[in-house]
């Protein structure tokens, strides 16, 4: 598990907001928006990299840059992780069943994609072990250009792991637009922070 610091709730500005949403029946909310992947798709294909794994890297890199996305509940305490790693679904084409693959986030796109691809292809099990708190969960769904997405609910209200999904991109006026969804725990993340993430991600996709 990555390192974290325990938050002193008595001196934490977000304490009241966290407590209110932590007691909600459904404390998570999900936002779907479109991202322009025109430049990103071209660049990763020029480097012969997997678009899917490159997107996992992009969303997790940008998610790490938003502090609120790194808060979690650990043993009933509120903590802030120094770093969040990646977990993603990977389809077995023969069985048409997915496996969940856990890969540390690196500082470099190409090295991450190479490690993620090697790990995904060599992993025989569909599920190795329960995921830790210190991951972002990514689940690409490239078969549908969706307008909305929902997720299964484990019933664990303290599960604050952000979920990232994206669908099939479409060509619009020479651009490739793709739906991307972010599910977050309202105890830690507001719409403002989702907006910051969206801006950060689009800047990264444009500037690669």
- Over residues 136-146, the pLDDT tens digits come to 999 999 999 99
Neighbours of 43 (CB within 10 A): 16
Which neighbouring-strand residues pair with 92? 97
Q: What's the whole-model pTM score?
A: 0.96
Strand order, beta sheet including 4-6: 4-6, 77-81, 71-74
- Predicted pLDDT at 1: 85
Element (H, E) at 118: helix 109-122
What percent of the chain shows pLDDT beyond 90? 93
- The answer to whether 104 touches 135, Cβ cutoff 8 Å, is no
pLDDT in tens, 35-93: 999 999 999 999 999 999 999 999 999 999 999 999 999 999 999 999 999 999 999 99
| CATH number of the domain within which 55 lies | 3.30.559.10
pLDDT score, position 64: 98
Evaluated on CA atoms 98, 103, 106, 111, the torsion sign reads negative
pLDDT tens figures, 171-193 = 999 999 999 999 999 999 999 99
pLDDT of residue 174: 96
Please say if the pLDDT value at position 208 is more than 80. Answer: no
Token digits of residue 96: 């048409």
Residue 165 in 3-state DSSP? strand
User: For residue 156, what pLDDT band results from cuts at 50, 70 and 90?
Assistant: confident
Domain count, the chain: 1
pLDDT at 206: 97
Range of the domain at 156: 4-207
The yes-or-no verdict on residue 155 having pLDDT over 90 is no
pLDDT of residue 154: 83
């Amino acid at each position: 598990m990555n390192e974290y610091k325990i938050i002193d709730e008595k001196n934490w500005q977000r304490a009241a907001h966290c407590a209110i949403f932590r007691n909600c029946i459904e404390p998570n909310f999900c936002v779907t928006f479109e991202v322009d992947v025109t430049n990103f798709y071209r660049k990763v294909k020029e480097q012969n990299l997997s678009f899917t794994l490159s997107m996992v890297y992009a969303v997790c890199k940008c998610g790490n840059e938003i502090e609120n996305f790194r808060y979690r509940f650990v043993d009933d305490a509120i903590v802030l992780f120094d770093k969040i790693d990646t977990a993603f679904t990977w389809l077995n084409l023969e069985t048409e069943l997915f496996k969940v693959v856990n890969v540390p986030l690196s500082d470099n796109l190409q090295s991450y994609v190479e490690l993620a691809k090697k790990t995904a292809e060599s992993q025989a099990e569909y599920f190795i072990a329960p995921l830790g708190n210190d991951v972002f969960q990514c689940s690409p769904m490239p078969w549908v250009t969706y307008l909305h997405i929902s997720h299964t609910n484990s019933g664990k209200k303290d599960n604050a792991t952000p979920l990232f999904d994206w669908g099939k991109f479409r060509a619009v006026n020479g651009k490739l637009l793709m739906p991307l969804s972010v599910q977050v725990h309202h105890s830690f993340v507001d719409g403002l922070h989702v907006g910051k993430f969206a801006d950060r991600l689009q800047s990264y996709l444009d500037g690669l």
